[in-house]
Structure 1
Amino acid sequence: MIDTRSVDVELRWRASNLALSLASCAAVALAAALIDARWQLVVVAAPLVGVLVSLGWQRSTPAVRVYAEPGLVRCFEDEEVRLELWAEADDGSPVRLLVETPPGAALQVDRGPSGRLQIVASMPRWGRYPVRVRVTVAGRGGLLTGAAATTWVTAGEVFAFPVAPAQSTGLPRTELLDRLGTHLTRHVGRGVEYGGIRAYVPGDQLRTVNWPVSARRGSLHVTERLSERATDVVVLVDRHDQPPGPATDATERTMRGAVQVVQSALRNGDRAGVVALGGRTRWLGADIGRRQFYRVLDAILGAGDGHETTPGTLAPRAALPPGAVVVAFSTLLDTDFALALIDLCRRGHVVVAVDVLDGAPFEDLDDPLIARMWSMQRAFMYRDMRTIGVDVIGWSTDGTLDQVMGLVPRRRRRATARR
Structure 2
Amino acid sequence: MIERRSVDVELRWRASPLALSLASCAAVALAVALIGSRWQLVVFAAPLIGVLVSLRWQRPLPTAQVHAEPGLVRCFENERVRLEVWGNADDLTVEVADGAVLEVTRLPSGRLEIVASAPRWGRYPVTVRVHVTGKGGLLAGSPSAGSVTVAEMFVFPVAPAQSTALPRTELLDRLGTHLTRHVGRGVEYGGIRAYVPGDQLRTVNWPVSARRGSLHVTERLSERATDVVVLVDGYDQPPGPATEAAERTMRGAVQVVQSALRNGDRAGVVALGGHTRWLSADIGRRQFYRVLDAILGAGDGHETTPGTLAPRAAMPPGAVVVAFSTLLDTDFALALIDLCRRGHVVVAVDVLDGAPFEDLDDPLIARMWSMQRAFMYRDMRTIGVDVVGWSTDGTLDQVMGLVPRRRKRAAARR
What TM bracket, shorter-length normalisation?
Answer: over 0.9
Deviations 1:212-237 (A, max 9, x none): 00000000000000000000000000
User: What TM-score, normalized to structure 2?
Assistant: 0.99
Q: Distance in 2 between matches of 1:57 and 1:4?
A: 37
Question: Where does residue 330 of structure 1 map in the other structure?
Answer: 325
1:248 CA drift (Å): 0.5
State whether structure 2 residue 389 is matched by structure 1 residue 389.
no
Q: Identify the match of residue 368 of structure 2 among 373, 385, 395.
A: 373
User: In the TM superposition, what are the counterparts of 1:83-102 in structure 2 within 5 Å?
Assistant: 83-88=83-88, 94-102=89-97
Deviates more, 1:31-40 or 1:348-357: 31-40
State whether structure 2 residue 26 is matched by structure 1 residue 26.
yes
1:247 CA drift (Å): 0.5
Question: Where does residue 354 of structure 2 map in the other structure?
Answer: 359
Q: Distance in 2 between matches of 1:372 and 1:126?
A: 34
Q: Distance in 2 between matches of 1:95 and 1:418?
A: 64
The residue type equivalent to 2:389 in the other structure is G
1:42 CA drift (Å): 1.4
User: In the TM superposition, what are the counterparts of 1:143-292 in structure 2 within 5 Å?
Assistant: 143-292=138-287
Q: Distance in 1 between matches of 2:90 and 2:271?
A: 41
1:95 CA drift (Å): 2.4
Question: Where does residue 122 of structure 2 map in the other structure?
Answer: 127
Q: Distance in 2 between matches of 1:243 and 1:268?
A: 36
- Answer whether contact 2:269 2:295 (CA < 8 A) is retained: yes
State whether structure 2 residue 279 is matched by structure 1 residue 296.
no
The residue type equivalent to 1:238 in the other structure is D
Question: Where does residue 71 of structure 1 map in the other structure?
Answer: 71
1:101 CA drift (Å): 3.2
State whether structure 2 residue 354 is matched by structure 1 residue 348.
no
Give the unaligned 5+ runs of structure 1: 89-93
1:36 CA drift (Å): 2.4
User: In the TM superposition, what are the counterparts of 1:106-145 in structure 2 within 5 Å?
Assistant: 106-145=101-140
State whether structure 2 residue 84 is matched by structure 1 residue 105.
no
Q: Distance in 1 between matches of 2:61 and 2:105?
A: 29
Alpha-carbon RMSD? 0.7
- Answer whether contact 2:229 2:320 (CA < 8 A) is retained: yes
The residue type equivalent to 1:53 in the other structure is V
1:266 CA drift (Å): 0.2
Identity of aligned residues (%): 86
Q: Secondary structure at the match of 2:413?
A: coil
Deviations 1:51-75 (A, max 9, x none): 1100000011111111111000000
1:46 CA drift (Å): 1.1
Deviates more, 1:258-267 or 1:46-55: 46-55
Question: Where does residue 51 of structure 2 map in the other structure?
Answer: 51
- Answer whether contact 2:74 2:153 (CA < 8 A) is retained: yes
The residue type equivalent to 2:240 in the other structure is G
User: In the TM superposition, what are the counterparts of 1:301-312 in structure 2 within 5 Å?
Assistant: 301-312=296-307
Question: Where does residue 17 of structure 1 map in the other structure?
Answer: 17
Deviations 1:4-56 (A, max 9, x none): 00111110101111111111111122222222222222111111111110000
Deviations 1:167-206 (A, max 9, x none): 0000000000000000000011110000000111111111
The residue type equivalent to 1:81 in the other structure is V
Deviates more, 1:27-36 or 1:106-115: 27-36
Q: Distance in 2 between matches of 1:80 and 1:50?
A: 53
Give the unaligned 5+ runs of structure 2: none
Q: Secondary structure at the match of 1:258?
A: helix
Q: Distance in 2 between matches of 1:351 and 1:32?
A: 85
Q: Secondary structure at the match of 1:404?
A: helix
1:99 CA drift (Å): 1.4
Q: Distance in 1 between matches of 2:338 and 2:239?
A: 28
State whether structure 2 residue 398 is matched by structure 1 residue 403.
yes
User: What TM-score, normalized to structure 1?
Assistant: 0.98
Question: Where does residue 39 of structure 1 map in the other structure?
Answer: 39
Q: Distance in 2 between matches of 1:344 and 1:216?
A: 54
Question: Where does residue 91 of structure 1 map in the other structure?
Answer: none
Q: Secondary structure at the match of 1:383?
A: helix
Structure 1 segments of 4+ aligned residues over 4 angstroms from their partners: none
Q: Distance in 2 between matches of 1:81 and 1:411?
A: 45
